[in-house]
Structure 1
Amino acid sequence: MNPLQRSLIEKLGHDHGFEHVLPGAPHTVALASARHGARADVSLLSGAEGLFMIVEAATPALLPEMRRTFPNLSFAAGFAASSEAELAALLRRAASLARALPSQAARDFESEVSRRLSELPKGLGDTEVERLVRQRVGQQKFRSAMLDYWGGACAVTGLAMPELLRASHAKPWAECSTDAERLDVFNGFLLVANLDALFDGFLVSFDDAGVMLVSPRLSVDIQNRLGLRQGMALRWLSDQHRRYLAWHRERLHAIAGRSGMRAD
C-alpha cells in the first residue's frame, strides 16, 4: 500500500463515519471513531483491483446486518469493494449501524441524560423532572438510531424525507420494562406519518415475514383513503424485530378482537 492509497482510504474513513486512524500493520489502514465502538481494517485485495474491509464491533448484530445489506460484497472474513464508492458505502453503513444498534444508543442516552441533569438549577433534579428528561432524551436518541438503521427512509414505503418520518415503537415507551427496551432499534420501525399513526394505534401490524396486517376496524374505504394497498410490507425484517412484533400483534388482536383480521 503506497502513501497515496493510504491517504485515500483515510479520507474515505473520515468522510464516512470513521474519523480516527489507529496504529496498525503497514499494509492495513485501521479506522475507528469516537462516536461508536466499531473498527474497520481496510487493506488492498491481493492480486486484484479493489479493497477488503474487516469490521470489528461490540454488538453481534452488526455483521449480520452488514451481510444482509451487502450480500454481493460479503465474504467469510469481511467485505470486498471494487471501487471507492463501494468502500464508502460499506464504511457509511457500518458507522450507522454501530451508532444505532444496542448498546451504543443506550450508552449515548445515559451520557446525555447525565449531562442535561447536571445543567439543571439546584432543586430541580427531582424524580419527576428526571423522568421527563429521560423520556425526552430517550425519544430523541431512539429517532436518531432509527434514522441511522433504516438509512433515513421509511421501513415500508422507502420514502426518504426525514421531516415526514416518525420513529414508532412496537412495544410502547411506557410499557417497556427497561431503558434498553425503550432504546432498542429493533423495538419499532421508521414509518411515514400516516403509517406511524396506524401502527401506534394498533390498527396495522406486521407478520413474521414483514407483511402488513390490517385491523378489521379499518374498512376497505378507509384503507383506500389512507393509501394502504395489498402486499405492503417491511423492506426487511430481522429476527430481533420479531419478538417485539409478536407483542404488538397480540395487542392489535386484543383491541380488535380475534376474528376478522386479514393481511392486505
Structure 2
Amino acid sequence: MNPLQRALIEKAGHDNGFEHVLSSAGDAVTLASARHRSQAVVTVSADGFGLRLQPATPALLPELLRSFQPWAGADDVFCVPTLADLAALLRRAANLSQALPKQAVRDYHAAVAQAVQELPAESRGTEVERLVRQRVGQERYRDALLTYWGGACAVTGINVPEVLRASHAKPWAECADDAARLDAFNGFLLVANLDALFDRFLISFDEAGHLLASARLSQGQLHALGIHPGMALRWLAGEHRPYLQWHRERFLLGA
C-alpha cells in the first residue's frame, strides 16, 4: 500500500462514517468511529480493495449482503473494485451500525439524559418526563427505520419522507424494555395509509412477507386505499419474525 492509497482510504473512511484511523501501518488501514462500535480493516489488492468488518452487531453482515452480495468474498471479506464502491460500502456499514440494535439504544439513552437534564426540576419524574422519553424514543426509532430501509417504504418503495411513518409491530407500550422499543426489526417504514392500517391490526404480513388484509375491509376499500394482490415487504430478516408473529396474532384475533 503506497502513501496515496493510504490517504485515499483514510479520506473515504472519514467522509463515510469511519472518521477515526486506529492503525495505518503495513498493508492495512483500520478505521473506527465515535458514533458506533463497528470497525473496518481495509487493504489494497490488484482488483481494488479488501474490506473486513468487525461489526458492532451480528445483524450487520447479513444486512450488508442484501446490497453488496456481488462483492462478498471468503472469510467475510468484501472485495470492492473502486474507491467509490468502497465509500458506498463504508457509508452503508456506518449507517446500519447506528440504526441496528444496541447502538440505537445507547444513542437513545444519551439523548434522553440530555433532554431530561434540560427539564425544570419539578418536571422530572413526572408525566412530562415520560412523554419526553417517549418522544425522543420515537424520533430515534424513526431515524433508525429511515436508515435501515434506505429512506423508502418497506412495501411500496416510495421515498417521500413526509409520507413515511415508523410503524411498530409490537407497540411501544407493549414492549418490555427500551431494546425492544427501539429495535429496528420491531416494525417497518410504511407510507401513511399502510401505517394506519398496520397500527390498527387491519393489515399484517405472513411468514414470507406477503401482505394480509382483514376481512373487515371490502375490496372497494382496499382498492381505494391502494392495496392490491401481491403486495409484500421488500425483504424480511429473521430478526423481524418474532415481532411480526406477535403482530400477526393480534391481527388474526381481529379478523
- Which TM-score band applies after superposition, normalised by the shorter structure? over 0.9
User: In the alignment, residue 70 of structure 1 is paired with which amino acid?
Assistant: F
Counterpart in the other structure of 2:11: 11
Counterpart in the other structure of 1:260: none
How many Å apart are 1:154 and its aligned residue? 0.9
How many Å apart are 1:130 and its aligned residue? 2.2
Counterpart in the other structure of 2:74: 76
SS of the equivalent of 2:123 reads coil
TM-score by length of 2: 0.96
Hey, what's the Cα distance between the residues in 1 that align with 2:193 and 2:85? 34
How many Å apart are 1:103 and its aligned residue? 0.3
How many Å apart are 1:57 and its aligned residue? 1.6
Hey, what's the Cα distance between the residues in 2 that align with 1:50 and 1:23? 20
1:34-92 Cα distance to aligned partner (Å, 9 max, x none): 111111111112xx221010111221111111123321111232111111222122111
Counterpart in the other structure of 1:227: 226
Higher alpha-carbon deviation: 70-79 or 148-157: 70-79
Hey, what's the Cα distance between the residues in 2 that align with 1:26 and 1:164? 49
Hey, what's the Cα distance between the residues in 1 that align with 2:147 and 2:180? 18
User: In the alignment, residue 20 of structure 2 is paired with which amino acid?
Assistant: H
Higher alpha-carbon deviation: 106-115 or 66-75: 66-75
| 1:54 aligned residue (49, 52, 55) | 52
User: In the alignment, residue 61 of structure 2 is paired with which amino acid?
Assistant: L
SS of the equivalent of 1:131 reads helix
SS of the equivalent of 2:154 reads coil
Alignment of 1:192 with 2:174, yes or no, is no
| 1:66 aligned residue (64, 67, 72) | 64
Q: Which runs of 5+ in 1 are unaligned?
A: 257-264
How many Å apart are 1:232 and its aligned residue? 0.8
Q: Which runs of 5+ in 2 are unaligned?
A: none
Hey, what's the Cα distance between the residues in 1 that align with 2:206 and 2:67? 21
Structure 1 runs (4+) greater than 4 angstroms displaced: none
Hey, what's the Cα distance between the residues in 1 that align with 2:196 and 2:211? 14
SS of the equivalent of 1:8 reads helix
Hey, what's the Cα distance between the residues in 2 that align with 1:186 and 1:26? 39
**1:110-121 matches, cutoff 5 A:** 110-121=109-120
